Amino acid sequence: MNVQRTIMWWSTALVVCLVMAACGATNAGTTGTDVDDSAQSNEEMTQPNEDSTEDTAMETTDAFVGTEWQMVAYGAPASVQMPLPDYLPTIRFDATSLSGNAGCNTYGGDYTISGSDLTVADLFATEMACADQGAMDQEMAYLQLLSAVQTFTLADGKLTLNAPDGTLVFETPKTIESQPLEGAVWQLETLVTFEADSVAAQPVTDGASITALFQLGTLGGSVEGSTGCNDYSGSYRIDNFQITVPSAFTNTEAECIDDTAREQEEQFLTGIQTAESYRIDGDVLTITHPDGELVFRVKGDTSADPNAVYATILREWQGARDAFVVLNETRFNTPDQDMDATIAALQELPPLSDEVATLDETLLTDFREKNAESQSLDSTFSIDFPTIFMNQADIDDIFVDGEEAGWQTFNERFGNTDGYVALSNVGFSEGGNEALVYLELHSPDDTAGFYNTLFLQNGTWVVVQSNRIWGDE
């Protein structure tokens, strides 16, 4: 949906009639000059004080400019409706412009005000489809009413915008507290591009994790995160919701998995490094730059999330693969090693760091329990990379004539996948911020097993140790 229009307004002239005939008819001594003087006097009395009108308009405008308003009702007076609870439109008036969320799409435009008259012009909106038809209908009704607003009232904490076909009623959201910029992990959801006569919004690819963590330190602000392909870090400055990045970020130089991920990375880095301002609405952060906006949401809790761990591990092994072929049945070691021997070997692993000498006992217990039996992965597995699941029986059929013929058949069938992998179920520590997963690699050049330990840092899983427990170096 693209709402890009200029609204034409017609003003109705107010005619003030001075009725004096009755008075004049009863006063025989009144001359024409006296009537003119009286008319002039009455006209002066009914003439509005322009300075007073401007002052009143300014005071009224100051009362709602800069405030985030949330819609609580809309529609014609005879059929006022409550908005859908999961799609609550918002509006914010700045000095001469307005912006907000229509329920599914962000929008913006200009406005002018004179007394209680309000004119909206050049209204535009992004073009993301609503997941719910009811939300789409509500959004269309909202934008149509907003584009036709003629007057407003502000009373009892409510802002009412009046259009010929209905009203929009707003309140300041009392139950929604905005998340501070610093300290939260923000995950990018939408890349917004400003074009000549419209706004284009591109959702971030499903499963891609583009993040930003802003932190204040003794030397100023620092920001770090992931572009979806690489880790980055840099600095930033804040001055009254104006945000600037004084120098280019530093980042790793890994290849993205495809052109889409590469384009998202480039657009994100360009946008955040040329940031001009930001605003936070509840748990949504919008960073504005010269060519568009970056729309983030506070990242959900990824502790004890096996898919987040799998995605991190496989990203380490991604290389030039076009996809991963994954064995559907979980396994925790080679068939000749039981769980007791495996746990004993894990307890002998080198220290994780100077501060952490051994694996958390709750982590080992959880790993043991979750891998007591082999389970299928395909029903719950979800990562941001193409994945092909195969059963062990299918693998055996491919290699029935030996390794050389088998790999030739495998490569012909699956292309650039560089073999296949097997995985265990993920074990987590009691706090959910440490993880353990087994990865088994089978390729024409290498066959080996690895135990991988991960820590949750700033909402992102990081591999802190990967130990090869069998196979040639």
* DSSP secondary structure code for residue 309 in this structure: H
Strand, helix or coil at 335? coil
Looking at residue 254, what is its pLDDT?
84
Specify whether the CB–CB gap between 130 and 87 falls below 8 A: yes
| Total number of residues shown for the chain | 473
Is residue 366 within 8 Å of residue 427, measured between CB atoms? yes
Work out the widest C-alpha separation in the chain, in whole angstroms. 128
Whole-angstrom distance, CA of residue 328 vs CA of residue 137: 43
Q: Work out the number of other CB atoms within 10 angstroms of the CB of residue 49.
A: 9
DSSP 8-state secondary structure symbol assigned to residue 5? B
pLDDT at residue 20, as a whole number: 33
Q: Give residue 396's identity as a one-letter amino acid code.
A: D
* Listed residue (391, 258, 253) closest to 322, CA to CA: 258
Amino acid at 174: K
CB 298 within 8 A of CB 359: no
| Cα R_g (the chain), whole angstroms | 32
Q: Which domains does the chain have, with CATH numbers?
A: 1-176 (2.40.128.270), 185-298 (2.40.128.270), 306-470 (no CATH)
pLDDT by position in tens, the chain (length 473): 333 332 222 222 222 332 333 333 333 333 333 334 433 444 443 344 444 444 444 445 566 788 889 999 999 888 888 888 778 899 999 888 999 999 888 899 999 999 899 999 999 988 877 777 888 999 999 999 999 999 999 888 889 999 999 999 998 865 445 678 888 889 999 998 887 777 788 888 866 789 998 988 655 689 998 898 888 999 998 887 789 888 889 988 888 888 988 999 999 999 999 999 998 877 889 999 999 999 999 877 666 789 889 988 998 888 778 889 999 999 999 888 899 999 998 888 877 666 566 788 999 999 999 999 999 998 888 887 789 999 999 999 999 999 999 999 999 999 889 999 999 999 999 888 899 999 999 999 889 999 999 988 767 788 888 999 888 76
Task: Determine the distance from the C-alpha atom of residue 424 to the mean position of all C-alpha atoms in its chain, rounded to a whole number.
Answer: 32
Say how many CA atoms lie within 13 Å of 458 toward its Cβ: 16
DSSP secondary structure string, 230-259?
SEEEEEEEEETTEEE--SPPEE--PPPSSH
Place of tokens 């535009």: 124
The candidate with the shortest Cα–Cα distance to 227, out of 176, 267, 167, is 267
Among the listed residues 294, 267, 320, the one whose alpha carbon sits nearest the alpha carbon of residue 443: 320
Residues 6+ apart with CB under 8 A from 79: none
